[in-house]
């Protein structure tokens, strides 16, 4: 994937070139590999939300229905497309795009590899698409974080097809994390002060580094030894450099946690430290 270098070629004209993808049924039967190889975003234009016949996409699952969180290194994720057609499913695929419309997308996450499909019945199949994202090329600017669109399509054995430029939406977020987290001193006497410090950071896709994430609300939470749940003790805000510092009174053995809930462009982040109270 080389979206930074060839973004215009890969995205300006939109989605799958269905005119190339959908062969007559006789040709499809003779040369399925030749058709399947074309199931990728193409520079050849295709109508938005096009369909022919009774092929249907019934379900699309991106990254296990979890936010796609990308730091400064490559990230691989999967998309599953389930489709039906009375004649059976020939193939299906999907990709993510960002922008106001598919013809003017400023980012695309796709793969040149064919999907692998499991035919669950004579009429339905689920196809797996594996995509590797490289923030150095595909997510070339931090402004791309946020809501993306999921395009999906499927082709029946009889050459019927369906294409949806926006089947659903999915969140693509910059990875957040804590560094230098510490709750101490440890061990500490009951009733004494525990100081909790750390720095909230967030990945920059523009500069491929992590930077302190300022002015963010972070919860200080505590889980007493033997318990399975955390309770929020207080909420504090990170400094302009992402730094956090607060104090609490030691009362019992347990784990202290900074919890950042994330937002529309940034992932959830947690950091932990167990403190022995004597």
- For residues 260-267, average pLDDT: 98
DSSP string, 200-242: EEEEETTTTEEEE--S-EEEEEEEETT-S--EEEEEEE--TTS
Which residues lie closer than 8 Å to 121 by C-beta, 6 or more apart? none
For residue 5, the model assigns a pLDDT of 32
Q: Return the minimum-mean-pLDDT range out of 31-35, 103-107, 204-208.
A: 31-35
Domains of the chain, with CATH numbers?
3-173 (2.70.50), 176-275 (2.60.40.730)
| CB-count exposure of residue 176 (10 Å: 0-12, 13-18, 19+) | buried
Confidence band for 43, pLDDT divided at 50, 70 and 90:
very low
d(CA 63, CA 90): 23
Residue pLDDT, tens place only, 168-194: 999 999 999 999 999 999 999 999 999
Q: What is the pTM of this model?
A: 0.84
Condensed to tens digits (0 to 9), the pLDDT of residues 101-131 reads: 898 999 999 999 999 999 999 999 999 999 9
What percentage of the chain carries pLDDT values higher than 90? 81
Distance CA 140, CA 3 (A): 8
């Amino acid at each position: 994937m080389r979206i930074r270098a060839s973004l215009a070629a890969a995205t300006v004209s939109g989605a799958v070139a269905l005119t190339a993808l959908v062969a007559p049924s006789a040709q499809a039967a003779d040369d399925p590999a030749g058709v399947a190889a074309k199931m990728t975003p193409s520079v050849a234009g295709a109508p938005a939300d096009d369909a022919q016949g009774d092929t249907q996409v019934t379900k699309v699952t991106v990254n296990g229905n979890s936010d796609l969180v990308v730091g400064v290194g490559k990230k691989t994720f999967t998309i599953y497309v389930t489709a039906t057609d009375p004649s059976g499913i020939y193939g299906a695929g999907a990709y993510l795009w960002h922008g106001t419309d598919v013809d003017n997308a400023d980012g695309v996450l796709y793969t040149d590899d064919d999907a692998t499909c499991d035919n669950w019945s004579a009429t339905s199949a689920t196809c797996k698409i594996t995509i590797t994202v490289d923030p150095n090329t595909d997510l070339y600017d931090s402004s791309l974080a946020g809501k993306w669109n999921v395009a999906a399509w499927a082709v029946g054995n009889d050459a019927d097809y369906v294409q949806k430029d926006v089947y659903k939406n999915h969140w693509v977020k910059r990875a957040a994390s804590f560094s230098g987290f510490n709750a101490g001193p440890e061990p500490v006497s009951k009733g004494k002060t525990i100081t909790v410090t750390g720095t909230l950071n967030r990945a920059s896709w523009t500069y491929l580094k992590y930077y302190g994430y300022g002015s963010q609300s972070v919860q200080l939470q505590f889980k007493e030894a033997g318990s399975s749940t955390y309770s929020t003790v207080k909420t504090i805000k990170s400094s302009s450099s992402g730094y956090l510092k607060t104090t609490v009174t030691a009362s019992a053995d347990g784990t202290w946690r900074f919890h950042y809930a994330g937002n529309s462009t940034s992932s959830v982040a947690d950091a932990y430290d167990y403190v022995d109270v004597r």
